[in-house]
């Protein structure tokens, strides 16, 4: 049991150091992720606006052709009006002329609406492109910062991770999940030493009888207040001197 307690405290020491290294990086990993998200969102929106312009150009060109066709027809109808033989023919032609004139009006309205839509989209793209440029510049900077911090901590991190693996293989399989669970629930600290007859985690007093039992290092005790695994100060000291 003494060996297990020692390993557990070693694991805790390594994990605490790894947590500290992670803290050095601060919010940088999250900031980089958020900026990457921003950049890809702005890119998507720009693509949407470009699609709107492409579709609008097609529809506008079609409207332009149709206007041209109707105008030609209109001219033809108007010249035919001079050579009609009866009222019926005249009425029929008038109907065609009305229809062509209304169609031209509608198409011209559509044409100018599309021009407006395209103008709006173009302005939005200009604004978005500026935003994109800024976001990309910002992302570049934060990525560089993160890379620098990571480079500085990389060796240490590698060493600690390796040490962690070595400890893990020597620990019983059922202890590890328990350790991880307490660590998650208790601020990253699952194993704490006894300090001045109190729990090194929550600082609550430990009954004298329990202190005596703890000193024998023969059983795993948990703090009855915070649930952390307690080790005697002797175990803690032996780990600290060894590392």
Which CB sits closer to Zn ion, 182 or 226?
226
- Is position 223 an interface residue for Zn ion (rule: CB under 5 A)? yes
The closest of 36, 53, 42 to 140, measured between CA atoms, is 36
Side-chain-facing half-sphere of 12: CA atoms under 13 Å: 31
Quote the least distance from Cβ 217 to Zn ion, whole Å.
18
* Residue 103: strand, helix, or coil: helix
- CB atoms < 10 A from the CB of 210, how many? 16
Q: Is 202 in the site for Zn ion (CB under 5 A)?
A: yes
Stretch that binds Zn ion, among 22-30, 81-89, 115-123, 202-210 (CB under 5 A): 202-210
> Do 101 and 78 touch, CB atoms closer than 8 A?
no
Which residue in the set 226, 229, 231, 236 belongs to the binding site for Zn ion (CB under 5 A)? Answer: 226
CA atoms within 13 A on the CB side of 115: 8
Alpha-carbon 45 to chain mean position: 17
Separation CA 13–CA 170 (nearest Å): 16
Closer of 139 and 199 to Zn ion (Cβ): 199
Nearer to Zn ion, 147 or 185 (CB): 185
Residue from 25, 45, 225, 234 binding Zn ion (CB under 5 A): 225
* 200 near Zn ion (CB under 5 A): no
Q: How many residues does the chain have?
A: 243
Judged by CB under 5 A, the stretch of 15-23, 134-142, 170-178, 197-205 that binds Zn ion is 197-205
User: Phi/psi at 149 (nearest 5 deg)?
Assistant: -60, -45
For Zn ion, which residue of 135, 160, 199, 214 counts as binding (CB under 5 A)?
A: 199
Could you tell me the smallest distance in angstroms from the CB atom of residue 193 to Zn ion? Answer: 11
Token pair, residue 8, equals 């557990």
Give the range of 61-69, 125-133, 157-165, 195-203 binding Zn ion by CB under 5 A.
195-203
Q: How far is the CB of 11 from Zn ion (least distance, A)?
A: 18
Tokens of 118: 């395209």
Least distance to Zn ion from the beta carbon of 221, Å? 11
Judged by CB, which is closer to Zn ion: 125, or 199? 199
CA angle 204, 206, 210 (to 5 degrees): 160
Q: By C-beta, is 118 or 192 nearer to Zn ion?
A: 192
Alpha helices by DSSP H, the chain: 2-25, 28-80, 87-170, 175-185, 208-215, 233-242
Nearest to Zn ion of 226, 231 (CB atom): 226
Min dist. Cβ of residue 223 to Zn ion (A): 3
Q: Which residues bind Zn ion (CB under 5 A)?
A: 199, 201-202, 223, 225-226
């Amino acid at each position: 049991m003494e060996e297990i307690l020692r390993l557990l405290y070693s694991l805790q020491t390594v994990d605490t150091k790894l947590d500290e290294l992670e803290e050095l990086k601060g919010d940088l990993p999250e900031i980089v992720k958020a900026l990457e998200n921003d950049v890809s969102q702005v890119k998507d929106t720009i693509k949407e606006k470009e699609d709107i312009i492409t579709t609008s150009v097609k529809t506008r060109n079609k409207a332009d052709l149709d206007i041209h066709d109707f105008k030609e027809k209109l001219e033809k109808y108007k010249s035919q009006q001079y050579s009609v033989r009866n009222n019926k023919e005249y009425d029929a032609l008038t109907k065609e002329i009305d229809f062509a004139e209304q169609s031209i009006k509608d198409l011209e309205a559509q044409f100018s609406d599309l021009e407006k839509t395209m103008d709006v989209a173009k302005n939005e793209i200009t604004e978005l492109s500026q935003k994109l440029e800024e976001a990309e510049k910002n992302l570049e900077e934060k990525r560089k910062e993160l890379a620098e911090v990571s480079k500085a901590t990389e060796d240490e991190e590698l060493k600690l991770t390796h040490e962690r693996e070595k400890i893990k293989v020597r620990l019983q399989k059922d202890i590890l999940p328990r350790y991880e669970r307490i660590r998650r629930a208790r601020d990253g600290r699952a194993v704490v030493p006894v300090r001045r007859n109190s729990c090194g985690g929550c600082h609550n007093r430990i009954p004298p009888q329990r202190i005596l039992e703890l000193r024998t290092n023969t059983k795993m005790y948990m703090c009855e207040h915070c649930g952390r695994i307690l080790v005697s100060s002797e175990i803690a000291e032996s780990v600290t001197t060894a590392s």
